[in-house]
Structure 1
Amino acid sequence: MDSRDKRAVGRRPLPAKPVLPDVTAAHRRGPADAVEARWRQPALVWQWHRERQEVLRPGVGYPGIVHLIEVARAERTLRQLYPHTSHFALRLSSRTRYPYALQVPSVPSRHDGRFHVFVPRGGTLLGETGTAEAAVALVVTHLPAGLGPAVAGTADDLRRWRSP
């Protein structure tokens, strides 16, 4: 139990923080290793958050981000892209470094168990689904032609992104 969290007193112990893959070292080995390490990292982190919430707030629903990551990771065409998550949403990039190249629809998971699929960077809703599997299938149908494995971003990419 994390003794700093007073809300956990009298409840079952909080889960231990996961041991995360070294994404920095994976970047040094190349884009393919960075992508693989990055797929493992958010799955572990979000699983830990979900288990922690089950202890601190039993019975309160948790968005399906963990299952969404697992389903997306199992899809061959998406697994070659660099994942990142924020606010219970999965985003995929064709670059392994910032600025990310967001050409793939993003998928926020909702607290009611549903998933929205949005056009990349546009904010336009492509659809709403009841399962992670259906959301991933919708993403796959909207992949740009010729999208290949993620590549390492370069200093030139960052300069172009920053220039007016």
Structure 2
Amino acid sequence: MDSHDLGEVGRRPLPPKPDLPDVAAAHRRGPADAVEARWRQLALVWRWHRERQEILRPGVCYPGIVDLIEVARAERALRQLHPYTSHFALHLSSCTRYPYVLRAPSVLPRHDGRFQVFVPRGGTLLGETGTAEAAVALVVAHVPAGLGPAVAGTADDLR
């Protein structure tokens, strides 16, 4: 065990970094594979971050980003969009590379356990919910008809 594996003397070892999917290889196989690999990558990375915090800062509330990603990924209308996170918020793009095209609402999990849903690109609060399930339902209710699946490339490629 290496010294970086222990958060502090007396604490249990930190979880190992997860084995992440090869997102670059997934992009070469096509947009559907790129989207699926990205959903798996986000879920693994954010679970690892939460597990580390539970060891390093026990009792400190961690935003519900892990639950949000799992619930959103299970929703067929959202699972076909390319997910990414920024400042704990989950965003969904209709293209697989940056700069992204955001037409679906974004969700910000708060430290108090609630979730805020924002209109795409505007930053205007669409609503606040008490669960990840309710936040995802609000996103789905505001996804434009016919949106998805995500296409390969960037916003510039769609022009």
Quick check: 1:67–1:132 contact (8 Å CA) kept in 2? yes
Question: Given residue 157 of structure 1, which amino acid in structure 2 is its aligned partner?
Answer: D
Quick check: 1:99–1:158 contact (8 Å CA) kept in 2? no
Task: Count matched residues.
Answer: 159
Say whether 1:96 aligns with 2:96.
yes
How far apart are residue 65 of structure 1 and its match?
0.3
Q: What is the SS of the residue equivalent to 1:4?
A: helix
Unaligned runs of 5+ in 1: none
How far apart are residue 146 of structure 1 and its match?
1.6
* Match in the other structure for 2:86: 86
Question: Given residue 62 of structure 1, which amino acid in structure 2 is its aligned partner?
Answer: Y
* Match in the other structure for 2:139: 139
Q: 1:117-164 CA distances to partner (integer Å, 9 max, x unpaired)?
A: 00001010000000000000000000012212000115x81697xxxx
How far apart are residue 7 of structure 1 and its match?
4.4
Quick check: 1:2–1:14 contact (8 Å CA) kept in 2? no
Q: 1:25-64 CA distances to partner (integer Å, 9 max, x unpaired)?
A: 0000000000000000011000000000010111111000
Quote the Cα distance in structure 1 between the aligned partners of 2:128 and 2:2: 38
* Match in the other structure for 2:116: 116
Quick check: 2:43–2:70 contact (8 Å CA) kept in 1? yes
* Match in the other structure for 1:15: 15
Say whether 1:126 aligns with 2:126.
yes
* Match in the other structure for 1:153: 153
How many percent of aligned residue pairs carry the same amino acid? 82
Quote the Cα distance in structure 1 between the aligned partners of 2:22 and 2:7: 31
Quote the Cα distance in structure 2 between the aligned partners of 1:85 and 1:32: 19
How far apart are residue 79 of structure 1 and its match?
0.2
Quick check: 1:98–1:158 contact (8 Å CA) kept in 2? no
Quote the Cα distance in structure 1 between the aligned partners of 2:131 and 2:71: 10
State the 4+ residue runs in structure 1 displaced beyond 4 angstroms. none
Q: What is the SS of the residue equivalent to 2:4?
A: coil
